[in-house]
Structure 1
Amino acid sequence: MKHYCVNEQEYIIRQAVPTDAEQLARVRYQIDGETEMMDRVQGEALLTERDFCTLIESDQQLSNHLFLVAEIDQHIVGFLRCEGSQLQRSCHHVELGVAVLKNYWGLRIGQHIINQAIEWAMTTKLRKVSLKVVEINEKAVMLYQKLGFVEEGRLKEDKLLSDGLYYDTLLLARYI
């Protein structure tokens, strides 16, 4: 567990536990409705409290999986998950996903939770952390680059957004 204070707002980042499942289901649903930068529109690929509980318990058993939450006053305001493969040829690599409730943007929660994941990847002796981001999510792209991620590829016209246009998805990675 790590404590942070940004703009006079205190928060912690810690590993997820099964009792977080109910809040995580609500937070994920809310985030999906706050931005188009996620893979889903609100209500798609819904994860229930039970789904999150199973996911957290499973992640706790796998050495190349990590599930972190950011919490303010015992309320989850963001989360990060790293998922690795169980295949020998790919188990050195994890894919990262991160999300923060819009009301808490600007508190560097994303930066701190990703840094914690990078520290974990180093101690776990992983080789690569990757992620996907829509090209027009400029703030996120700049953050990832600041944290050492580099572009490895681009999925052309990968996301259809509400403006009716197709956007590329950037494939970014950080080597440990």
Structure 2
Amino acid sequence: MSIVIREGTLNDAEVLLSIQKTVVSEGKYLIALSHEFSKTVDQQKEWIEGILQNERDTLLVAEKEGEVAGCIVFQTNSGRERTAHKGDFGLFLSPEYRGLGLGRMLLEELLDWAEKNPYIEKVCLGVFSINERAISLYKKLGFLEEGRKVREFKFGDDEYVDDILMYKWVKE
């Protein structure tokens, strides 16, 4: 199995947007619903360009057998000095590439990048409390829960999900 993790480029915009739309349409991993997610390819390119131009941000792409399978994106809120040492990540994998270890590989590569980045000290994320598989992965890689927003998301009548806030300190 040939897997490559590489930095994303503007040429990835269309396929990454397609993957994001697929994940959004599943309705169980992201805040946005399909009818709320209307990003265009041009907007995706603009978003990627902003990431590539910021030394505190990164976009990593996983390819399996030459096909783009997913990505991990790390972004800071570097407009503020007091939060410029940390950022949040999002991970997107096409359904057919899940369960192969690609998510773990992307996250390990991100953590390696963060450890080497002179500005980044803390890697953060928010995850739905029902996403047990993702939570398990994060814990295996050393992430700790630092808080929980109870009933943060409403999935339906009397159906709520907590937002679990997790982090990993990457500087000793």
TM-score, with structure 1 as normaliser: 0.89
Aligned partner of residue 89 in structure 1, secondary structure: helix
* Residue 85 of structure 1 pairs with residue 47 of structure 2: no
- The alpha carbon displacement at 1:146 in A equals 0.5
Letter of the aligned partner of 1:111 in structure 2?
R
Q: Could you say which residue in structure 1 is the equivalent of 2:145?
A: 151
Q: What is the number of equivalent residue pairs in this alignment?
A: 168
Match of 2:55 among 60, 63, 74: 63
Q: Could you say which residue in structure 2 is the equivalent of 1:95?
A: 88
Letter of the aligned partner of 1:19 in structure 2?
N
- The alpha carbon displacement at 1:98 in A equals 0.6
Distance (Å, rounded) in 1 between the aligned partners of 2:104 and 2:123: 15
- The alpha carbon displacement at 1:43 in A equals 3.7
Q: Could you say which residue in structure 1 is the equivalent of 2:155?
A: 161
Letter of the aligned partner of 2:100 in structure 1?
L
- The alpha carbon displacement at 1:75 in A equals 2.6
Q: CA 1:164 to 1:14, structure 2 compared with 1: closer, same or farther past 3 Å? A: farther
Indicate conservation of the 8 Å contact 1:32/1:40, yes or no: yes
Aligned partner of residue 159 in structure 1, secondary structure: strand
CA offset digits 1:5-45 (Å, max 9, x no partner): xxxx3221111100111111111111112351211222423
Distance (Å, rounded) in 1 between the aligned partners of 2:117 and 2:4: 22
Indicate conservation of the 8 Å contact 1:27/1:78, yes or no: yes
* Residue 114 of structure 1 pairs with residue 107 of structure 2: yes
Distance (Å, rounded) in 2 between the aligned partners of 1:37 and 1:148: 21
Distance (Å, rounded) in 1 between the aligned partners of 2:51 and 2:107: 17
Letter of the aligned partner of 1:151 in structure 2?
E
Indicate conservation of the 8 Å contact 2:77/2:83, yes or no: yes
Structure 1: runs of 5+ lacking an equivalent: 1-8
Q: Could you say which residue in structure 2 is the equivalent of 1:75?
A: 67
